[in-house]
Structure 1
Amino acid sequence: MKAWQVHELGEPAQVLQLADIPAPAPAPGQLRVRVRAAAANFPDALLCRGHYQVRPDLPFTPGVELVGEVSALGEGVTGFAEGDRVIGSPELPAGAFAEESLLRADQVLPAPTALDDAQASAFFIGYQTGWFALHRRAALQSGETLLVHAAAGGVGSAAVQLGKAAGATVIGVVGSPDKAEVARQLGADMVIDRTREDVVATVKEATAGRGADVVFDPVGGDAYTWSTKCIAFEGRIVVIGFASGTIPTPALGHPLVKNYSILGLHWGLYQHRDPKAIRYAHDELSTLAADGIVRPLVTARRGLDDVPDAVQQLADGTTAGRVSIEVTR
């Protein structure tokens, strides 16, 4: 089978190499799936660079999210049949940027029938992250104001749609006019171009001085600093990641005197600690997709040969919405 492999760490466009390797054999408790589509995610770029919290042995195939058809069942696996259309996060080193991949059977979910393959490939991580951030961690309420950084990005785009579905007023922050238009398409009530506008002043003006009740921050760096200056009384800042490359070091006296909360979200932990919560979120999200309330905004559909370029563009911050690699056409 064809698979993109990393033999040495570095920039995705430089280190990803297309190889012809045997299809992986599923171990006990695993499924092998024929990859139909795989979404490009920022962790894929971090994996190539060796900066992700998971560091598989070299060589490995990146790709942390896919939709595929079950092609083989490992020992002890029940409840699945060959041909079942499923979504999930692969078991590295057999990642999604290949014709076949491996997943843990107890972490696989049925692919939503309302979504095509490209959309379904981008439904698992982003929407699960958004759901847990807004509902489990921040307890977002209808009528509150939600501030979403990187609102046109992978997880940010999901947070915008989920915030609107929850009845919040959503303010999106983006880094270009093109991305501003994407955020508006997603349903954001207001969009701030951080390269042209003062984020703090604009949020305060839009909220009559109150500030945002909930902040969704996958960026860190300046975005986190701005958030602390426009967070509402009893507001909640949910830290998702650090796409800016800068991890904030907050002075805890500030949340004390302003009476706000800083919440962390490592969504992957729930796969091991509370898988029932993941299945509940998936069922709720699938209903929203079936009703047309949420839908991954796939802005580019690329082929398997385009993986290095697609992941590099994501790493460089030049993409908007989701980029899906269509493996089986």
Structure 2
Amino acid sequence: MRALICQTFDQPEALSVQTQPDPTPGPGEVVMEVRAAGVNYPDALMVMGQYQIKPPLPFIPGAEAAGVIVAVGENVRHLHVGQRAVAFTGTGAFASHLKADAGAVMPLPDGLDFEVAATLPLAYGTTMHALVDRARLQAGETLLVLGAAGGVGLAAVMIGKALGARVIAATGSDEKLQLALDHGADEGFNYASEDLRERIKALTDGKGPDVIFDPVGDRYAEPAFRSIAWGGRYLVVGFAGGEIPRLPLNLPLLKGASLVGVFWGEFAKRDPAANARNLARLSGWVLEGQVRPLVSERYTLERGPQAMRDLLERRVTGKVVITP
């Protein structure tokens, strides 16, 4: 097989494509021929040694993939050779073949293509967990999405609408704002050129959003939290803006509001049944057209480092995939 290899924790450009023996499944495992692999911000952090999980070196990055099962190990009952499937493995996806624990692999519904499927587990799984399980977003509530044109941000716009919320998109450019509006956001603004607190106040008649979905962090977190509604829920999703913000703890007190952490990977490990229910519900929305995942660019395996660089420098809208 061909794979993108991380030999040492370094910049993505240090990765190289190498040929290795095709994997063989052990008991409870399957091997998938990868047709598309989703590229995510944590992939780049992991390669640089800046993620909370550091795999043993060398390793193949890539957390999620969709493809066709080509081999099945002993004691695997729900999967078979020739079946279309999607997997979340944490590492190993940036390769022509992926060996995975069968418990981390789910059959693909008919009508769901490989590229879209490869973007669902992490970004959309995270967003489902955030809005459904952690925020318990209700129909009629107002949801503010920061970084609303990125992978998880655009997912939050669409899933928020599917749940019946009023969605306000906040982005760093007018072009990205238009993308969020085209995917269902009710209103929005460019926080690079407009005052974030004043725009939130104007768009919510001074009440503030009930839920804030924040994958950006950095300097936007504190003014956003200061704008939250009474009893609001602030979802801490990530820090794509660079700096991890520090919030004065009197703010949750004064707002009667909650800071809510979102760690989908640990949730999926601890409660796989609930995660499977979320992904099944999500797949239904995708097939019905309520949620329309955007795959904005496709990269070859050799261009995988460029895919990660584009993510790090926030040049990506929606999701991008590697097609090995």
> What range is the shorter-chain TM-score in?
over 0.9
Aligned length: 324
**1:166 is matched by which residue type in structure 2?**
L
Contact 2:16 2:302 in 1 (8 A): no
The aligned runs of 1:175-324 (5 Å cut-off) are 175-324=172-321
TM-score using structure 1 length: 0.95
Structure 2 distance, partners of 1:27, 1:149, is 43
Partner of 1:6: 6
Contact 1:91 1:103 in 2 (8 A): no
SS in structure 2 at match of 1:212: coil
Structure 1 distance, partners of 2:306, 2:123, is 21
Q: Structure 1 pair 64/173, CA: closer, same or farther in 2 (3 Å)?
A: same
Q: Structure 1 pair 74/11, CA: closer, same or farther in 2 (3 Å)?
A: same
SS in structure 2 at match of 1:178: helix
Q: Deviations over 1:243-300 (max 9, x none)?
A: 1222223222211122111111111112221111011111111111111101211111
The answer as to 2:81 corresponding to 1:82 is yes
Partner of 1:50: 49
> Shift of residue 217 of structure 1?
0.8
> Shift of residue 91 of structure 1?
5.3
Contact 2:233 2:259 in 1 (8 A): yes
Structure 2 distance, partners of 1:88, 1:242, is 25
**2:169 is matched by which residue type in structure 1?**
G
Farther off after superposition, 173-182 or 29-38: 173-182
Farther off after superposition, 277-286 or 103-112: 103-112
SS in structure 2 at match of 1:233: coil
| Structure 2 residue corresponding to 1:147, chosen from 144, 150, 155 | 144
Structure 2 distance, partners of 1:114, 1:172, is 29
SS in structure 1 at match of 2:155: helix
Q: Structure 1 pair 193/101, CA: closer, same or farther in 2 (3 Å)?
A: same
Q: Taking every aligned residue pair, what percent have the same amino acid on both sides?
A: 42
Contact 1:65 1:122 in 2 (8 A): yes
> Shift of residue 46 of structure 1?
0.5
For structure 2, list consecutive stretches of 5 or more residues without a partner in the other structure: none
Q: Deviations over 1:194-221 (max 9, x none)?
A: 1111111101101100001000111112
Partner of 2:70: 71
> Shift of residue 303 of structure 1?
2.3
The aligned runs of 1:1-150 (5 Å cut-off) are 1-12=1-12, 14-90=13-89, 92=91, 95-150=92-147
Structure 1 distance, partners of 2:244, 2:30, is 36
Contact 2:39 2:319 in 1 (8 A): yes
Structure 1 distance, partners of 2:289, 2:166, is 19
SS in structure 2 at match of 1:215: strand
Q: Deviations over 1:62-84 (max 9, x none)?
A: 11111011111223222211111
The answer as to 2:181 corresponding to 1:168 is no
For structure 1, list consecutive stretches of 5 or more residues without a partner in the other structure: none
Structure 1 distance, partners of 2:242, 2:124, is 23
SS in structure 1 at match of 2:311: helix
Structure 2 distance, partners of 1:163, 1:59, is 39
Q: Structure 1 pair 91/46, CA: closer, same or farther in 2 (3 Å)?
A: closer
Structure 2 distance, partners of 1:27, 1:51, is 31
Coordinate RMSD, CA, aligned: 1.3
> Shift of residue 192 of structure 1?
1.5
